[in-house]
Structure 1
Amino acid sequence: MLLRLAPVLFVLIWSTGWIAARAAAPLADPLTFLAARYALAALALFLILLVFGVKLPSDRRLWAHGLASGVLLHAIYLGGVWYVIDEGLATPLSGLIAALQPLLTAVLAVAWLAEQLTRRQWLGLGLGFAGLVIALLPKLFELEGEALTAAAWLIVINVVAMVSVTLGTLYQKRFLQGGDLRAISMLQYVGATLATLPFAYLLEEMHITINIESIAIMAWSVLGLSLAAIGLLLLLIRHGAVSRAATLIYLIPPLVTLEAWMLFGEDLAPIAILGMLITVFGVYLVNKKPT
């Protein structure tokens, strides 16, 4: 039952990450907030391991792979996304760049993990990306001329973040198929904390406003995003083809656009709705079981 519900739950929870980043931007420096989030997530998982009597891996290689995958999946990816949003890059554009991940993951999964994709699945990947572009075109037109030039270096950072989470997903599938997911997740957040803290110290004032709003955002970021959503993603990677799991990322930007419309009153054009429907159909083609 959990495996059946995991894709829907993952998409619903993970899409709120962009909303959390936007809400936290006035309250905290992005890398500082993320370092605190990773540390709290690692602490929460350590307590969970103690309660359930789960032991950390005895194999040093699993420790190394866990720490390294945490840097790729969390430190570089989320650090890049939160940083560019804090610096003013349009959230839909950031979402579009992140949505390149399924295509890159599919190509690399075929080459690195020897996964096989059917023509229907390749068609679904293409339709998913095309629908995403259609859904976000109205927002993309807002970035022109000087604004687009000023955002160029932020776009580069966002692309690096996208490549990092793609490599992290493949790395997870290849090197971390064994071991308890809770223990591996804890190691990943330890690695992310160690990688993020130095950059927060060098680049930021390490400021976090402590109030009810920031505490609520942090609580959701740790419990909802860092524990629940990432746990579901790792579960999907372990029990399914990595390219199909990555395709769920296509659903995130349209859902973020819908959430921004509901929470912040942003415009939701008919063309955006059309693009979302095309994207959903593309994801269906990729994940549909063969008859």
Structure 2
Amino acid sequence: MSAEVRDNGWLRAMPWVFVLIWSTGFIVARFGMPHAPPMSFLAVRYALSILCFLPWIWVAGVKWPVNRTQWLHLSVTGVLMHAGYLGGVWAAVKAGMGSGLSALIVGIQPVLTAIWLSAMGGAEGHVSRRQWAGLLLGFAGLVLVVSRKFEHGGAGDHADWLNLSLAVLALFSITVGTLYQKRYVKACDVRSANTVQLLAALVVTLPLALLEVESMRWNGELVGAMAWSVLGLTLGGSSLLYLLIQRGAAAKVTSLMYLVPPCTALIAWLLFDEPVTVFTVAGIALTALGVSLVIRPPKTV
């Protein structure tokens, strides 16, 4: 097998590997949050991730961003896509929201992205009627599931205005961060770019962590959650997201988020016995149909 064939195969597999890794982020939050406050956990996660990236950058001879403008743009995306997004998700889970529901709320990102791109126009701005139908179906699936969680959510898996607001904060942060990165961040090595983003996220998150009164209670679950957060999610998932945004159209890349909730719901059901009702299945089916409409290539004559 030639190197070109292997590279093409890896590029095709990247989105699906990303979906699988990204889905575990909501599961890890459920494992870690009973034993730690959200901002303290994330501050430690960012610090450990930076310590992993720095020797990798040094050994590989990776170049850093070339000017202060690039550092600034990467810092903005770091605050949005790490501090804002992860802070919102983890705080929502700490406040009682289930893994599946938090994933589903953040999964509305493609709708916001498509609306913005359509409004701005340009090469990526055109969203076809079929794609709009898919985006709206995904939104309908989200509404269906969330409405039932308000009525029937149980302990550790319910929606209220506090955790819903935190999840919406995460949603807007990842959406704006993705669009900002696509618009302003020039292509550079993912390792140095991710490190700059993490440094900015740590600067914002650490003061919030120092205000938390709950202490971190280290045990097997917390250590496992931290290890996977650093190695799997930050070094793996965040790096893949950076590469996907740099290589693909923003609307299609973010539509992959619609595939995260079904994966998360299945894992959460297996691990935490989070209920999967008829309405949950119907909502997930709508999102799956929606993403298929968004990412399906147009017919050629």
TM-score, normalised to structure 1, is 0.91
Q: Which residue of structure 2 lines up, in the alignment, with residue 2 of structure 1? A: 10
Deviates more, 1:126-135 or 1:188-197: 126-135
Residue of 245, 265, 276 corresponding to 1:237: 245
Give CA deviations for 1:190-213 in whole Å, capped at 9, x if unaligned.
1111110001112x1362222332
Q: Which residue in the other structure is 1:168 paired with? A: 177
- The AA in structure 2 aligned to 1:8 is W
Unaligned runs of 5+ in 2: 1-8
Cα displacement (A) at 1:172? 0.7
Q: Deviation per CA, 1:173-220, whole angstroms, max 9, x where unpaired?
A: 011132212211110011111110001112x13622223322211110
Structure 2 CA distance, aligned partners of 1:270 and 1:159? 24
Instruction: Go from structure 1 to structure 2 and tell me whether the alpha carbon gap of 1:97 and 1:275 turns closer, same or farther (over 3 Å shift).
Output: closer
Q: Evaluate the alpha carbon distance shift between residue 179 and residue 214 of structure 1 in structure 2; reply closer, same or farther with a 3 A threshold.
A: same
**Change in 2 beyond 3 A, CA 1:270/1:206:** closer
Q: Distance in 1 between matches of 2:81 and 2:178?
A: 7
C-alpha RMSD over aligned residues: 2.2
**1:141 alignment partner in structure 2:** 151
Is contact 1:3–1:236 with CA below 8 Å preserved after alignment? no
User: Which residue in 2 is equivalent to 1:260?
Assistant: 268
Q: How does 1:86-235 map to 2 (within 5 A)?
A: 86-112=94-120, 114=122, 115-135=125-145, 138-142=148-152, 151-202=160-211, 204-205=212-213, 207-235=215-243
* Matched residue SS, 1:25: helix
Please tell me whether the aligned partners of residues 132 and 250 of structure 1 are also in contact (alpha carbons under 8 angstroms): no
Q: 1:45 to 1:260 in 2, by over 3 A?
A: same
Q: Give distance in 1, aligned partners of 2:175 and 2:36.
A: 27
Q: Give how far 1:112 is off.
A: 4.0
**In structure 2, what is the Cα distance between the partners aligned to 1:225 and 1:236?**
15
What SS does the aligned partner of 1:208 have?
coil
The AA in structure 1 aligned to 2:62 is V
Q: Which secondary structure does the structure 1 equivalent of 2:54 belong to?
A: helix
**Structure 2 CA distance for aligned equivalents of residues 243 and 16 of structure 1:** 23
1:15 counterpart SS class: helix
- For 1:44, the equivalent position in structure 2 comes to 52
Partner of 1:205, secondary structure, is: coil
> Do the aligned partners of 1:40 and 1:222 also contact (CA within 8 Å) in 2?
yes
Q: Distance in 1 between matches of 2:293 and 2:170?
A: 27
Q: Partner of 1:44: helix, strand, or coil?
A: helix
Residues 1:229 and 1:103: Cα distance change in structure 2 (over 3 Å): same
Q: Which amino acid aligns with 2:250?
A: V
How far apart, in 2, do the equivalents of 1:93 and 1:212 lie? 25
Query: Aligned partners of 2:121, 2:228: CA distance in 1, in Å?
Result: 34
Report the Cα offset of residue 130 of structure 1. 2.2
Q: 1:235-284, CA deviations, whole angstroms, 9 ceiling, x for partnerless residues? A: 11111111111111122222221111111223322443333233222111
Unaligned runs of 5+ in 1: none
Q: Give 3-state SS (helix, strand or coil) of 2:57's partner.
A: helix
Shift of 1:231: 1.3
